[in-house]
Amino acid sequence: MLFNSFHYILFFLLALLVVDAIRRRRFQHAFLLLASYYFYWVSSAWFVLLLLYSSILDFYLGRAIGSSKSLRARRIFLACSIAGNLGVLAYFKYTNFALASVETLLGSLGFGVRFSGWEIFLPIGISFYTFQSMSYTLDIYFGKLKPVDSIRQFALYVSFFPQLVAGPIIRARHFLPQLVRMPMVNWDRIRFGSTLILYGLIKKVCVADNLSGFVAAVFHGDPTHDSLWVFLGITAFAIQIYCDFSGYTDIAIGSARVMGFRFPDNFDFPYFSRNITEFWKRWHISLSSWLRDYLYIPLGGNRKGRPRQLVNLMVTMLLGGLWHGAAWHFVLWGLYQGILLILHKVLIWRRPASGSGIWDPLKILGTFYLTCIGWLIFILSDLGQLAFYVKKMLFWDFTTAGFSALIDSHPLALFLIAAFALIHLLSYRMGRLSRRLAASRTLGWSWIMLGGLLVLYLFAGGQASFIYFQF
């Protein structure tokens, strides 16, 4: 079920009315659990059984870890949880990739082996809820959380519909305590949540979806464009993927807030980062912090010397790249991000950052430029095309004819790029525009919402799926 559909609006309003009408907490939780399973069933049908599998597996293994006195037994139970979760994720997400890679390798050696009968479909959101469920047993093992007594509450944590399909990845220690009290609907939550929902919808359907055509025109097909087209095309994609993903997050956080639940922010103006390390603290925060807490730090983090720290950074980013998709260009993207992080870390060791912010604008532009090169790797699976576009980014060849053709063929895309830059800067300076709008007086807020709905009606670019659904 897409957030940007009337089906979701009707589903959410009905769920909200029922939750508000129920007066017993456990019945509220039971209803929200059933509603979440229905939400996922509409998108992935029988794959809802995987949600049940993850919930049952980690609930009972979490109890076993929490009640075990032996360190060896705790490690065995944790290993079962990790293997059970990652095994399912690997099968559905990476089997096709592995078989295709084996086919290519054997073909290069002269063996014509085919695995065409092994086509496996990827369940929507499996990367998100698998990591979310697995963090529960990891937190119990590390002593950060006690096992929950109710499997109903744990299953609701794993499958809660606002963040089920594309995050943010919520930690059990942040969500489960919120189930102790009854979800309550009140005017302040409705106002804040609905503002965020509308804000996210405008990002998605008015900005991201309308930029997708321009991005496709630049990067799909034979690479012939000059540097200006490439610069603006990859800038459009940077805006598209941000508005698409952060728009989903806004709708998820807003939907949960209306029902009385708080989710942490998943984006913090990443394109205003002054270096690549800061970018990964601001982009997809729930995944970045998950990889830091459950992979980078257990590998040793920065506690085992500088050479080991650099290795840990690279391993973390390679696996982070592979998390995004089962393809070699995602591995290459992770490698690129790892190299940038290592170079930045080495630069800091040699020349510690000064307190002056005079160079911040140039640092922000430089970080955005490097990020855009990374986005080229992210979206282009063909190495020949990638080499062409990276060359255009590094060696500029602007032409007047190319600029004129760009204005004539894609005026809306150019307008959206400029409008996003202006509004995003304004929001950054004001400290989150959506929160300022939600805090307006009732009359002013009503006019703002009507204006937002009008913008949504006039500039909606369709009902395209969210980009991160494929991950």
Residues with a known catalytic role: 324
Q: Give the span between the Cα atoms of 239 and 218, in whole angstroms.
A: 15
CA Rg, the chain, in Å?
A: 23
Q: Which amino acid is at 330?
A: F
DSSP secondary structure code for residue 169 in this structure? -
Axis crossing angle, helix 411-430 with helix 209-219, rounded to the nearest 10: 120
Q: Give the span between the Cα atoms of 104 and 284, in whole angstroms.
A: 33
Contacts 24+ apart (CB under 8 A), 385-393: 385/219, 385/223, 386/329, 388/223, 389/219, 389/223, 389/230, 389/234, 392/225, 392/226, 392/227, 392/230, 392/231, 393/227, 393/230, 393/231, 393/234, 393/369
Residue 404 C-beta-side C-alpha neighbours within 13 Å: 3
The DSSP line for 410-469 is -HHHHHHHHHHHHHHHHHHHHT-HHHHHHTS-HHHHHHHHHHHHHHHHHH----PPPGGG
